[in-house]
Amino acid sequence: MRPVAVATDSTHYLPRSLADREGIHQVSLYVGWQEGRERELEMDSFDGFYERLRSDPELPTTSQPSIGDFLEVWEPLIEDGRDVVSIHLAGGISGTCEAARQAHALLAERGLGERVAVIDSESACGGTGLLALAACAAARGGAGKDAVVARVRDTRKALRIWFCVDTLEYLRRGGRIGKAQAWLGGTLRIKPILSLEYEIVPVERVRTAGRAFERMVSYAQELHDSGAGGWVVQHIQAPDQAQRLIDRAREIFGAEPVFTSEVGPVIGTYTGPGLIGVGAVPRTLLA
C-alpha cells in the first residue's frame, strides 16, 4: 500500500504554517484586475487587495487553475511513489474541481488514473481546510488512498459551517448568489447568514450586525451540542469581530480552535469585506 499525499487548492485559507506542517500540497487559483492577474498563493498580504475592492467600481476576475497546474503538483508526488487525494473548491461556485477532473483524465490515459482521487469538497474556505486536515490525519495514520477518501467523505457529511456577510451585493455582482437569489430586491440592507453546500445556500436573515453576531455565537453552541468539537473561525478584514467570536466560541467549546485565519481574494471577491464564519466537525475525524 502506497503512502498518500494530500493536495488542495488555495481557497482553503489554512494558516500557511499549518498547511506546511501538515505537508499539504497546494494548487493556486488566480485573481486580478484588467492590468493582470496573480496566483493567490503568492500574495503576501490581502490588505491592498481588499482596500481596492472596496473602492474600485470594476470587480476583479478570478480563474481556476489550469490542467497543467494540477499536473505540476501531482506528478512529482506520483513519481515519489505516493498516491494523491486532491480536495477542491465546490463545483457549484467554481470550475476548479472540473479542471482537476480533466487533469485526472489525462493521467488516466497514461495508466495513472488510479493514483489520484479528486474530491469535490462541496465547500470552501474553512470547510475545505477541515476536510484537508481530516485527510492528513488519516494518511498520517497509515491509511491508503481509498480509506483517506472515505475519511474525507465522512468529514464532509459531518461538516457544518455558516458565514455572515455585510451585503449580498458582491455575491450578486459576481454571479455566485446561488439559492440566496430569492433574497435580492429590496433586501440588500439585511445581514444575511449563509452556508455552502455545493452552492450558496441561504440560512437566515437578520436586520443588524449585532443580531447576526449573536446568531453566529448561538450556532457555535449548536455545533458544540451536536458533538462537533473541532471548530474554526475565519473572517475578511474583520479581525476584531473575529476575535470576539473566537473568545465566545472558546468558552462554548472549552478548547482552542483548530485554526483561525483570513479568507483570501478569490473567495473575498464574491463575499466582500466584513465576512465572519464559524464551522466545525467532530474532533475524532481530525485525529
Mean pLDDT, all residues of the chain: 93
Summarize pLDDT for 57-68 with one digit per residue, the tens.
888 999 999 999
Q: Is 111 left (phi over 0), alpha (psi -120 to 50) or beta?
A: left
Q: Please report which confidence band the pLDDT of residue 29 belongs to, taking 50, 70 and 90 as the band edges.
A: very high
Quick one: cell of 89?
A: 473548491
As a whole number, mean pLDDT of residues 144-166 equals 97
Q: DSSP secondary-structure letter at 273?
A: T
For domain 4-157, the CATH architecture is: 3-Layer(aba) Sandwich (3.40)
Summarize pLDDT for 240-279 with one digit per residue, the tens.
999 999 999 999 999 999 999 999 999 999 999 999 999 9
pLDDT for residue 230: 98
Backbone phi, psi, residue 10, to 5°: -70, -10
Quick one: cell of 14?
A: 489554512
pLDDT for residue 177: 54
Domain span(s) for CATH 3.40.50.10170 in the chain: 4-157
* DSSP three-state, residue 100: helix
Q: pTM to 2 decimals?
A: 0.94
Quick one: cell of 91?
A: 463545483
Answer with the residue of higher pLDDT: 44 or 183.
44
User: What is the percent of the chain where pLDDT is above 70?
Assistant: 94
For domain 160-286, the CATH architecture is: 2-Layer Sandwich (3.30)
Summarize pLDDT for 39-87 with one digit per residue, the tens.
999 998 999 999 999 999 888 999 999 999 999 999 999 999 999 999 9
